[in-house]
Amino acid sequence: MVLPDDTNADDFQWPSDGKPALIQERGEANSERLKLLATELIIAGASSVVAIRESLLEVFDARVFFDREVTDVAA
């Protein structure tokens, strides 16, 4: 699945079967957009979300982890 730059994560229905989701963030890091997408995936049923931020890979460990306990998602 792809989230085009000119769209919002909540504009889509994200399929999930209760398994973890992986986001590969390309281009410039955008923390707000990443958090919104992770939140939408968790709302859709993903058990957790791991994001790999390509633009930050050479600087430090660029993985970001989200789950229901650390993401402010209404049950």
β-pairing, 48-53 vs 63-67, is antiparallel
- Residue 8 vs residue 67, higher pLDDT: 8
Write down the pTM of the prediction.
Answer: 0.71
Mean pLDDT of 42-71: 74
Query: How far apart are alpha carbons 36 and 55 in whole angstroms?
Result: 18
Mean pLDDT taken over the chain: 80
Of the given ranges (24-28, 31-35, 42-46), which has the lowest mean pLDDT?
24-28
Mean pLDDT of 23-27: 85
What's the burial of 40, exposed, middle or buried (CB within 10 Å: 0-12/13-18/19+)?
buried
Q: Is the pLDDT of residue 49 over 70?
A: yes
Kindly state the helix (H) or strand (E) to which residue 63 belongs, with its residue range: strand 63-67
- Residue 16 vs residue 34, higher pLDDT: 34
Domain spans, the chain: 20-67
